[in-house]
Structure 1
């Protein structure tokens, strides 16, 4: 549990020079005197020593005690022979205190450990101070209250490892100099301009101006800063068009400008198509006139000459084939430089780190919509109905910044509630209504830009992947994708990886992938339209859907409910598609899997609807009709329509017997027995016959289900001993089959009967 404490860190300056100037004995005596005076001051101010190196980490109950100690400590150092100076930093914040055991202390551990961000902040505050200077964080200053000592602000400082700038104060005697500390590697002074903090000192750059407000992305900005601080030389910010990559790295460049004394250089590569195009764009950003020297070499030398600088290469995807010849060489030549690239695909360079840019969080997306709507229409005053429409609207826009900005511009002609109702016309709605003519003037043109960069196999694969609903696995992709028309038929795994690297496909979880709805709709349009890639058109759509429904029809009930029924949308779509094209037996197989998931997740009404659709499919055999009737009965029973359920289940039983399908017969009998319509003896007989069939078939799962039903029935009839016997048998089977849910259910009900 955290506790609020005052932390004081000190550090004796010029200790290395002291060790060189003094002999070992004299230096040891000086440090002993230092330690003695520092420790003698602690009891007076109720402080506790936590750690010691060239300075000390001290813990106090109150900021006033920490400051009083720091003043006394600085005065005492000045009286030593030779006199010493120390920098000191005070911060107040929550810390976690952990006592070490006596045995650990005996082995050299500190008696008390202090953990928490407050410790890092105190260290940064101390690192900025000059020798003899004591600095306070804003939290320490606020906790200090009114004191007789002089306290002056030295402005706000951005410090490494701390997301937001912190105001620093100096505390001292009235005659102290109060000179602002100089900028250093671990911190520098910043001033506020609008909503961004800029370095107080002048640093050269070629960053574009930000023309409107920046919303959200604080965690992503902090993560990018963390990676560069940790030593990353190259970070590629990945994302599909419209996620706001350019805006993010522009804000990063402005906000962390002071981290790069060699400047921040923004290079727009959107018009580059060749190596010379890259060189021209980078030279223009760096203000380097290209001469007779080979341009990539000249630019590498120019970047290296700027020392610690940041080079931003925006829109690298269309020239990624030149990455090794340009960026790869610059990384080797300019060792102090850092590079951030925005791209829709991984570059594959040694040392490259990737930072995937997801759509905005929903709350930030709503804020962005309102702000842009207010900019588009100065008198924009949303009604309560409009406000209620914003959240679902931005979710339908998938929280994609470009889509939100384009939609917000439409408030000039229609309110948010109307926009929401028109989302079926997504690509018409999301186009610029002003003078914008660049590749992001519409959502479609943004996607077109990325589509044009794909290889033909990647185009075919992306289009075919659009038939999935709710995502896909690599196994299902291998079953659905047909790339046999291409030379040396591409490997499905490699193709999906390529689309993932190019940000068209997202990793939803381990082993599962999906696409933004906007991307899916865009890809689907290409699949069904002739001339978009070799073989595209209605026939390609029909063939891909047929492969999709064929795969999911054979999935089986166990796999249909795996992963919390994650394939439910694919199963429902497969059932509908198979029935629509008249694949009767296939539609029945897909129906079984779909109902297995719907029975657990709902809605049951979809199960009723699908069973009706399958039942009406021409050419449906008796066994398949029995499946459709049985599932119709089960879904109706789950929906509380017991009388209708019995009619369908009795029809299923008759059809199963005609088709000589004992498995379907056993299921239909068990479903009939499950009906709670008062026919208990009839239910017992049905369970008994179902149990016999299940044992003949060796179907342990079905046997377990029937035994559970019998246990419940016997309990209702007051036959507790018989019920217990059935539950024990069901539980034993559940343990044997390893069905966790069935085992838990059996255990719970059996426990209730004992």
Structure 2
């Protein structure tokens, strides 16, 4: 109870008093939020702090109240509503907290209004989540009747009162997944600072050093910036090492429980914090919340309606209520359509509830069906001029379709092989050859019945292996595709398989076999009236003519391939054909035409951003520059070519590339070309395209930073070297975990540490580096 004294109003409200509790632990971070809130609480009369359970609303409100206490001479009061169940008791609870003595049968709200009067008072209504319908009208009456009263409410949803200002309390800053940190940098991040402070309460010697810095970074990142989760995890540091704690986070609801006997019941476990929100949802909101747990990578309204079985517009109101109650969040982005997400802890809880409700199988089926439809639709349009938009769609949904594929390959292999076949162009465009090879190999192993998607997937598997330079494996898979096509009687599919076998032999320098296969493929394509297969075959035949020095024949075949591509609205066929037509112009000393054609090819390819194809254009442009004597320019473009191919893990080099290489090598032997070559090698695909088109003349990276890291200079441990080798083999985190007898989460942490130490941003870069620098086991 607050200290009693002579009241400022009536007989109850005490002078210059407060009941703010003393804090037993240090308040960490939130300085930026406090700066903004301190100003707002003096300007606004109703400030509501909303956020998910465990995000730190109460602690922030108390810190704010302490900071402005002197501005409220009649008192600052904390009213704890967390244990209150009866709405009619809200006014009485506030009055009792403020020390207002009840007067007979008087209405508690009327008495509150009379006692508060014109006093300048700040009242914190903490934990309104279960009593919003009662608190809202009460708060409005008090604010209208007491002109100098200020209210701070903490809740998981807005009160919905006129004049209310809502401040959404976000999770704390966590380490970025793509960044490497030293111990000092890491300790300066809010969530890490809180983790270290609380960890030292149970283990005073706990510290971050060079040995555990990346592990602690990953551990805190997985706690998602929720102060409750961070504090619950940190309390185990006297019992578990960071590595063991990280392993046990795979079941976060079991490990994230309080060891503090005085902790409020709602904060004694992460599950309890979420329970208290879920239990107060309406049935339709619970249904939607459970289904949204399927989305590993977030969702938009269309995907939500499809997966949740809702009519257009039907789910918007329940979704809005979930957002209001901090159980879902809108992703901050200018992207259209709007995307939403759930914290990982909420999503895992939702999936548990799906299972308990007996809805998990149906939800998974709907989830897989939607992303299969999305991928197959994208495949139909991905080669068109607007195909870049579909690549962006698949980028945004990457975690979702990966999840769908992993489920389908076990439960519905037929759907899995269709999904993998549909995703093959995406993996090729994005240069994700290691992932594509790994996922396609699993899917084709899961099916036995011949089908068109199986033939497509086998060709895709051959493409991934070919790009990685594994010609024997690529040949075996494409031969399997040809056998499936023949068994189905699908002449067009057989023609596509034969031209791909020709592509493999061409890359190996066997032009005779490549030509024979193309002759047969062209015959099949004409018989099947497949303009797509025919255009591809003519293109490959044009490359053979180039390799044999028959430039006129090559030009005619490439032009016909481009014509067929334009008729089919196939940007890829037009762009690739133009790349090699530009090379024909170069070889026949038509430099201006070569330059113009290569720029047109870049313009066509630019929205799609395929590393392999962009690299071929850059290589050709480098040769044109070398032929003109522009050695520095040629060196930069040559470096960019090498960098893109390395990061994508592409090792194939067709015979016709050798003439390009010889020109570039002459340029690189000139003085002053080593630095631009090194700088180009560091450029990402966007910077490389801008430079090639004359939009960017200088690069920030220097030659000194261009040297690829060695396994020793990178400081990889033996375990991390083993993980890097497995990444290079195309294994997922789950497969790595199985191979090394560690948990999935530990494997994920190791991959993250390898990427950070090497300074890479993708698994493909790790795979390319490992294949180049690490000897096989």
Say whether the fold is shared (TM-score over 0.5): yes
Deviates more, 1:259-268 or 1:590-599: 590-599
Whether the aligned pair in 1 keeps the contact of 2:258 and 2:269 (CA below 8 Å) is: yes
How far apart, CA to CA, are the structure 1 residues paired with 2:135 and 2:498?
Answer: 64
- 1:313 to 2:125 alignment: yes
Change (3 A) 1:723 1:653: farther
Aligned to 1:210: 23
| Deviation digits for residues 223-256 of structure 1 (CA, Å, limit 9, x no counterpart) | 2123234x32222212111111111111111112
1:663 Cα deviation from its structure 2 partner: 8.2
1:261 Cα deviation from its structure 2 partner: 2.6
In structure 2, the residue corresponding to 1:317 is in which secondary structure?
Answer: coil
- Say what the alpha-carbon RMSD is for the aligned residues: 3.6
Choose from 248, 251, 269 the match for 1:425: 251
Matches within 5 A, 1:153-302: 203-229=16-42, 231-291=43-103, 292-302=105-115
Matches within 5 A, 1:574-723: 574-582=404-412, 584=414, 586-599=415-428, 603-618=432-447, 620-652=449-481, 655=484, 660=490, 662=492, 669=499, 673=503, 676-679=507-510, 687-688=537-538, 691=561, 694-695=564-565, 698-708=568-578, 710-711=580-581, 714=584, 718-719=587-588, 721=590
Change (3 A) 1:622 1:304: same
Whether the aligned pair in 1 keeps the contact of 2:565 and 2:574 (CA below 8 Å) is: no
How far apart, CA to CA, are the structure 2 residues paired with 1:351 and 1:664?
Answer: 69
How far apart, CA to CA, are the structure 1 residues paired with 2:574 and 2:270?
Answer: 53
1:654 Cα deviation from its structure 2 partner: 6.1
Aligned to 2:347: 520
- 1:507 to 2:330 alignment: yes
Matches within 5 A, 1:63-82: none
Matches within 5 A, 1:445-456: 445-456=272-283
Deviates more, 1:629-638 or 1:610-619: 610-619
How far apart, CA to CA, are the structure 1 residues paired with 2:137 and 2:498?
Answer: 68
Deviates more, 1:323-332 or 1:550-559: 550-559
Larger Rg: 1
1:741 Cα deviation from its structure 2 partner: 4.3
Deviates more, 1:598-607 or 1:742-751: 742-751
Whether the aligned pair in 2 keeps the contact of 1:572 and 1:591 (CA below 8 Å) is: no
How far apart, CA to CA, are the structure 2 residues paired with 1:547 and 1:553?
Answer: 10
Aligned to 1:103: none
Deviates more, 1:514-523 or 1:355-364: 355-364
How far apart, CA to CA, are the structure 1 residues paired with 2:514 and 2:102?
Answer: 90
How far apart, CA to CA, are the structure 2 residues paired with 1:240 and 1:665?
Answer: 57
How far apart, CA to CA, are the structure 1 residues paired with 2:362 and 2:404?
Answer: 16
1:739 Cα deviation from its structure 2 partner: 3.8
1:575 Cα deviation from its structure 2 partner: 2.2
| Deviation digits for residues 155-199 of structure 1 (CA, Å, limit 9, x no counterpart) | xxxxxxxxxxxxxxxxxxxxxxxxxxxxxxxxxxxxxxxxxxxxx
Choose from 384, 391, 399 the match for 1:569: 399
Given the two structures, how large is their TM-score scaled by the length of structure 2? 0.62
1:593 Cα deviation from its structure 2 partner: 4.9
Choose from 202, 222, 232 the match for 1:376: 202
How far apart, CA to CA, are the structure 1 residues paired with 2:577 and 2:135?
Answer: 65
Deviates more, 1:587-596 or 1:281-290: 587-596
How far apart, CA to CA, are the structure 2 residues paired with 1:626 and 1:354?
Answer: 56
Deviates more, 1:543-552 or 1:250-259: 543-552
Matches within 5 A, 1:115-126: none
Change (3 A) 1:405 1:751: same
How far apart, CA to CA, are the structure 2 residues paired with 1:255 and 1:697?
Answer: 70
Whether the aligned pair in 1 keeps the contact of 2:452 and 2:485 (CA below 8 Å) is: yes
Whether the aligned pair in 2 keeps the contact of 1:587 and 1:614 (CA below 8 Å) is: yes
Choose from 336, 343, 347 the match for 2:148: 336
1:478 Cα deviation from its structure 2 partner: 1.2
Matches within 5 A, 1:47-126: none
1:603 Cα deviation from its structure 2 partner: 4.8
1:419 Cα deviation from its structure 2 partner: 1.0
Q: Which runs of 5+ in 2 are unaligned?
A: 1-14, 175-188, 383-388, 519-535, 541-560, 626-777
Given the two structures, how large is their TM-score scaled by the length of structure 1? 0.64
In structure 1, the residue corresponding to 2:111 is in which secondary structure?
Answer: helix
User: Relative contact order, CA 8 A, sep 6+: which one is greater?
Assistant: 2
How far apart, CA to CA, are the structure 2 residues paired with 1:699 and 1:664?
Answer: 23
In structure 2, the residue corresponding to 1:439 is in which secondary structure?
Answer: helix
